[in-house]
A and B are shown apart, each in its own frame.
Chain A
Amino acid sequence: MTTSRIGRAWAAATLLIAVVCGCSVVPVGRAGGGEDSPVGDPMSKQFVRMVAFPPRPEWTAEQVVQGLLAAMAAYPDDQATLAEYLTPKARSAWKPAGPVTVVQDTSKLEADEERGTATLPGVQIAGIESDDRYVPVTGGGQRTFKYTLKKAANKAGQPVWLIDSLDDGLVLTAADVERSYRPAKLYFLDGGSGPDGRGSVVSDSVRVRLRPDENLAETIVRRLLKGPSSALRGAVTSALPENLSVESVTATDERIVINLDGFVDLASLNLDGMKAQLAWSLRTLASGNRPIELHRDGEPLAAGLGSIALEDYKSWGSDHGSGTAYYTSGGEVRWMSGGDGPGNPVHGPAGQRNEYADLALSAGADLVAGVAQDGIVVTPDTPEGTWQRVIQGDKLTGPSWHRDGSLWTYDRRAGAVLRSTADPAQPPTRIAAPALDGLDVTDLRIARDGVRVAVRIGSGEIRVGAITGGGSAMMLGNFQSLLKVPDGQQITDVAWRDDEHLLILISSSKAGPSVQEINVGDGKAAALTFADKRVKSIAASGSRILAGTGQEIIEYKDQGWTTNVKEGAQYPIFPLG
């Protein structure tokens, strides 16, 4: 009896401990949102954001407009404060939707209190489209924003200046954008144009607005689910099911967990494509080579198949070329050797002296195309190869190889884009490009990702579009102007450096040639200058940029140009681009 009583006492004591320990001061044993992120993790980096206050009675009209701009900056987080700046009339008339106008910070506000007006003569530097695309405005977008103010009673009944009329849409300063927007590259799938037909990822640059209640990764995944921006609409696909939504993205030292919500049909899901998209889109954030795990409603997706190791998806990126550079020397296509001396000519007829212009190399550098008098000719770089005409025409632009092995050109006489399979037996097909109708297209270059297309209009403008559709529905679309050079300057050459960086060689009668490197995604431009005024052509691949002067081949290295081939060289070539 005594023993059983002791046993009962122990059991009761154990129960007591369990009960008392059960209720703790902090709930433990579950993910606490973004709090788990290790310190210094780029995923959970803080950002500074604007906090807006309602207008105050002692504020001048100018201060009220400044307050309105601050409220616009804070608008996505706090919509109520902006409304307090507006009279009822303005409140019902004003629409916040539409593209965001980005003006330069130095814009000086001019207010006339007696007439109750204020103007903001801003220099618009960019716009952020509804699809989050950041479009810089080049060439001085001087704009004036007009505000009409009125003395009216605020909520507390005090007389304050209120905005009575204003333009639709939000106006942000560059600093506002810098504070609360982050550039992000979303990756989508091309239509399987790669050599193995698996498809690869194509980047789409957007500016996402940071949200205080979620981390950047969550914002990016949320944006990724919305699909590509207008630059790539129709040209790329997304493997992420449309009905999915993001519950949370949490990071620990070991892994990043994306918790999705919504129905997932595993049978029809392109899980590999989806994982590739996520891996590439979150590549910069998943520092430390952490794997990404996909969960749905808190449970691992697809029984552990939802784990993404970033290394596995490296090959999904587009090929930036082998890095081997070529150049022409009196019509001969030559390898560029590491040293200063002349390189060896390639095999086949391309390595021999010929009269063809604008020679271009295919993805594997196994085919060489060039412009002849009566069309475009192609030869393999084998000793027994011969030049064969694949496209007929007397006013064709220089050939551009697509990564799928096709050859593209623009027939200036017919005003049509031609695509050839590089097989002499098959005639080229016309590709519809309604946006280019009636334009003087002087160059057409397919980007290395096989999706983007750059065209030169005349010698003063560059437009960038994309190959949309597939098969017989293939066409060129989504064209947007990338660069217009002012009078007195001429665009002499265009080359793709990688998927989204375009090098534009501009020659100016006064200042000499210069290279603009423009990110076609967000329009960011960087300029490279030359000491040598004879530069006529340019080629690039990955980190290498080569230029030809007609005599020498020079390379951009360590912020300066060094000579690679001293003499007898006309222009450099990289495969594709």
Chain B
Amino acid sequence: MPPNRTVRAHRRTLRQVLGGVRRRARRAVGGARRVWRRSLQLQVVTSTLVISVTVVAVLGAFLFQEINKNVVEGRVRVAANEVLNDRLQISSALAQQKTETSGKAAERGSVRLGPLDEALDSIAGVPEDAPRMRYDLLVLNREAPGNSRAVGNVEQRLIPHELRDALRIDKDKRDFDHPPRTWLTTLPVNGDSRPTLVTGILLHDPANAQTYEIYHFFPLTQEAEMLSSVRQLLVVVGVGLVLLLAAIAYLVARQVVTPVRLARQAAERLAAGKLDERLKVRGEDDLARLATSFNEMATTLALKIHQLEELSQVQRQFVSDVSHELRTPLTTVRMAADLLYDAREDFDPMAARSAELMQAQLERFESMLADLLEISRYDARAATLDLDSTDVRDVVLRAIADSEALAERHSTRFELRLPNEPCMSEIDSRRVERILRNLLFNAIEHGEGKDIVVSVGADRDAVAVAVRDHGVGLKPGEDTMVFDRFWRADPSRARTIGGTGLGLAISREDASLHGGWLQAWGQPGDGSQFRLTLPRTAGADLKGSPLSLVPPEVEMRRTWRGHMTPVLSPAIADGAHDD
């Protein structure tokens, strides 16, 4: 139904929005965490802030509480004095009334006021221009009519009931001389609530056997204002202190962190190969000594690396020189051997067999020497590419044609899986052909006569050629070792096709020269697969390969078996990103 759908759509939108918010929040938190984890300075300043805020808050609260207590206590003490004074004044006025036999009461104008009124008048400063009293007053006599008075804007209902109850208990116990009882409360005054100190005290008039309750209401407005400004001051000072501490922590951390940061940057540059990177040494403190040690370490490292490089150079030069030097005598030996070989039919069978053997081993020697020279060219970085836009399929076909004779000998057949479109790529076809040849020879050699599958794949950025055999396969870890120089899967096995042990190493170098990858996969019993991936444009970075390194059927089988058997993860050659 449409409304339902609308609701659902709306809900979905809401969920999407929430999801977006969550994502963004997670990203922000992640960013903050990254910043936090990466900045030592931020950590120092934050910890300082947290600790100082805690300390200042605790101290401030304690201080304020103390001041508050003292101010209020002081006010209560002053108030108690005033209360006792007033009580004394009222009490003496009431006593005087008795002694003066009521006829001679004080007069104001023509009107006679009672002793209670007289006393209260003088307390409140009614008759003369006395200072206005700073508190309100309730004098209550519940026993006799007309003997209760109020001064100021106070009423009975404003008396806190705790105070009233306390006075009632005192009255019942006839404890008339109990010191003033105090109670802090807030009273409504003109719509505001005013902090007020209320005190209550009893006054016993023995002559009339009457008890007066005297309540004083002291406004604490001034005290509250004072405390308020003290609190503001404390807050301002506290915040200022915290900020000051944070600023100090920031500066101190900066003093330490900046040289550390410089050292880190220098170490990074050193790691990146800039061996002449050094730190500036200022002063003699720990950081200066760190810089000195760093510089010494860098110098030592540079020296060692230099020595090793020189040694390596010498070795490479030696191999190259040896190879070159061997070529001249070999040529002579070769010519002599050719003569002997051609004339072998004239020899007795023993000598003829020796001539054949010599011929074969000389060919092997020659190719080994050629490979050594090729390798030394790579080592001397003398190898160059002769790039040309070529259809990789043609190169593959040529390499297969070259290998056919060997394949026939091993009764091995090739299965070709070529795309229909041309796979153009900028390559040095001679080198690529050599790589493929090497791979094919290798596959024939280890394929145990089973079919060899050659697949070509291409995508927008790269072309790939995979050579799959179904031989013994590779043990775990061997997929990288196969590219080592003179490496042998089984040292006891004889070389049947006279491999030099350098073929895959050279192929690897050729692939690297193209900016491509040469990777191997293998599993015992499942055979192996070698994949060559080359960028379509020379020099472009490879991001992936159009063909998978693990053969599709193996991958499928692995998926089928699922989790039943632990899968040996296919080893990936260095720097390769498989997809």
B225 pairs with A69, CB closer than 8 A: no
Q: Which residues of A contact B189 (CB under 8 A)?
A: 33, 35
A42 at the interface (CB under 8 A from B): yes
Chain A residues numbered 62-108 whose CB sits less than 8 Å from any CB in chain B: 63-64, 66-70, 73, 78, 105-106
Known contacts: A25-B231, A213-B190. The answer to whether A48 contacts B149 by CB under 8 A is yes
Q: How far is the CA of A16 from the CA of B239 in the complex (A)?
A: 8
Proximity string of chain A (43-57) to chain B, C-beta cutoff 8 Å, 1 when within and 0 when not: 011111111110110
A453 CB to closest chain B CB, in angstroms? 28
Please state if A37 and B132 are interface contacts (CB–CB under 8 Å): yes
A20 vs B149: C-alpha distance in the bound complex, in angstroms?
Answer: 43
A212 within 8 A of B: yes
Which B residue sits closest to A173, measured CB to CB? B111
A32 CB within 8 Å of chain B? yes
What's the Cα separation between A70 and B141 when bound, in Å? 12
Q: How far is the CA of A51 from the CA of B144 in the complex (A)?
A: 12
Q: Cβ of A64: which chain B residues have Cβ within 8 Å of it?
A: 145
Contacts of A63 in B (CB 8 A): 144-145
Inter-subunit contact B109/A49 (CB<8 Å): no
Contact A47 B124, beta carbon cutoff 8 Å = yes
In the assembled complex, which residues on chain A have CB atoms less than 8 Å from the CB atom of B150?
48-51, 212
**Of A6, A44, A51, A105, which contacts B132 at CB under 8 A?**
A44
The answer to whether A59 has its CB under 8 Å from any CB of chain B is: yes
On chain B, the residues within 8 Å of A40 by CB distance are 129-132
- Pick the residue among B108, B151, B236 that contacts A47 (CB under 8 A): B151
The answer on a CB contact under 8 Å between B132 and A24 is no
How far does the alpha carbon of A120 sit from the alpha carbon of B192 in the complex, in Å? 44
CB neighbours (8 Å) of A56 from chain B are: 142-143
Q: Is B170 located at the chain interface by the 8 A CB criterion? A: no
Nearest chain B CB to A27 CB, angstrom units: 7
B246:A105 contact, CB within 8 angstroms: no
Identify B145's interface contact among A39, A67, A212, CB under 8 A: A67
Question: Which of these, B111, B221, B227, contacts A177 with CB under 8 Å?
Answer: B111
Chain A residues positioned under 8 Å from B117 (CB to CB): 48, 175, 179
A435 at the interface (CB under 8 A from B): no
A303 CB-CB contact with B under 8 Å = no
CB <8 Å contact, B152 and A53: no
For residue B148, which residues in chain A have a CB less than 8 angstroms away from its CB?
50-53, 70
Q: Which residues of A contact B154 (CB under 8 A)?
A: 212
In Å, the complex CA distance between A543 and B376 comes to 138
Q: Tell yes or no: A113 within 8 A of B by CB.
A: no
Smallest beta-carbon distance B324→chain A, Å:
60
Q: How far is the CB of A225 from chain B (nearest CB, A)?
A: 20
Bound together, the chains give a CA A295 to CA B13 distance in angstroms of 58
Contacts of B236 in A (CB 8 A): 17, 21
- Asked if B224 lies at the interface with its beta carbon under 8 angstroms from chain A, I say yes
**Beta-carbon contact of A212 and B156 below 8 Å:** no
Q: Which of A21, A64, A78, A106 has the most CB of B within 10 A?
A: A21
* A264 within 8 Å of B (CB atoms): no
What 0/1 readout, one digit per residue, does chain A (12-35) give for beta carbons within 8 Å of chain B?
010011001100111110001111
Q: Are the C-beta atoms of B153 and A212 separated by less than 8 Å?
A: yes
How far, in angstroms, from A427 to B350 measured CA to CA in the complex? 189
Chain A residues within 8 Å of B138, by CB: 51
Chain B nearest CB, measured from A52 CB (Å): 7
B140: Cβ under 8 A from any A Cβ: yes
* Interface residues of B, count at CB 8 A: 55
Answer yes or no: A174 CB below 8 A from chain B CBs: yes
Residues of A within 8 Å of B, CB-based: how many? Answer: 53
A17→B235 contact, CB < 8 A: yes
- Docked CA distance A460–B143 (Å): 50
- Whether A46 and B133, one on each chain, are in contact in the complex, defined by CB atoms closer than 8 angstroms, is yes
Interchain CB contact (< 8 A) of A51 among B110, B121, B140: B140
Contact status of A21 and B132, CB under 8 A, knowing A33-B189, A51-B140: no
Closest to B243 in A: A13
What chain A residues lie within 8 Å of B556 (beta carbons)?
none
In the complex, which of the residues A28, A34, A44 contacts B225, with contact meaning CB atoms closer than 8 Å? Answer: A28
> Are A48 and B126 neighbours in the complex by a CB distance under 8 Å?
yes
Contact A46 B112 (CB under 8 A): no
| Chain B residue nearest to A42 in the complex (CB) | B129
Cβ contacts A437-467/B at 8 Å (1 or 0 each)? 0000000000000000000000000000000
Q: If A32-B221, A46-B132 touch, does A51 touch B156 (CB 8 Å cutoff)?
A: yes
Per the bound structure, the CA–CA distance linking A229 and B38 in Å amounts to 87
Let me know if B381 is at the binding interface, CB within 8 A. Answer: no
B562 interfacial by beta-carbon distance below 8 Å: no
B170 to chain A, nearest CB (A): 19
A56 CA to B148 CA in the complex, in Å?
14
Interface check A41, CB cutoff 8 A: yes
Which B residues are CB-close (under 8 A) to A41?
Answer: 132
Choose one: A34, A51, A175, A212; the contact of B114 (CB below 8 Å): A175
Is B120 engaged at the interface, CB distance under 8 Å to the other chain?
A: yes
> A524-552: which have CB < 8 Å to B?
none
Q: Does B206 contact A (CB under 8 A)?
A: no
Asked whether B360 is an interface residue with its Cβ less than 8 Å from the other chain, the reply is no
Chain A residues whose CB sits within 8 angstroms of the CB of B243 once the complex forms: 9-10, 13
Chain A residues near B133: list those with CB within 8 A: 46
Q: In the bound complex, how far is the Cα of B147 from the Cα of A53, in angstroms?
A: 10
The verdict on A66 contacting B146 (CB below 8 Å), with A26-B195, A35-B219, A39-B134 known, is yes
Q: In the assembly, what is the distance between CA of A51 and CA of B146, in Å?
A: 7
Q: Mark B167-196, 1 if CB is under 8 A from A, else 0.
A: 000000000000000000000011010010
- Shortest Cβ distance from residue A173 to the other chain B in the assembled complex, whole angstroms: 9
Q: A16-B239, A35-B221, A67-B146 are in contact. Are A24 and B151 (CB under 8 A)?
A: no
Q: Is the CB of A175 within 8 A of B124?
A: no
Residues of B within 8 A of A175 (CB): 111-114, 117
Which residues does B use to contact A, with CB under 8 Å? 108-114, 117, 120-121, 124-126, 129-134, 138-140, 142-146, 148-156, 189-190, 192, 195, 219, 221, 224-225, 227-228, 231-232, 235-236, 239, 242-243, 246, 250
11 pairs of residues in contact across A and B, judged by CB atoms under 8 Å: A17-B236, A20-B239, A26-B221, A28-B225, A33-B189, A48-B151, A51-B139, A63-B145, A67-B145, A175-B112, A175-B114
Known pairs A47-B124, A47-B126, A212-B152; list 4 more (Cβ under 8 Å): A32-B190, A51-B139, A51-B156, A178-B113
The 5 closest A-B pairs by CB, nearest first: A67-B145, A70-B146, A51-B148, A46-B124, A33-B190
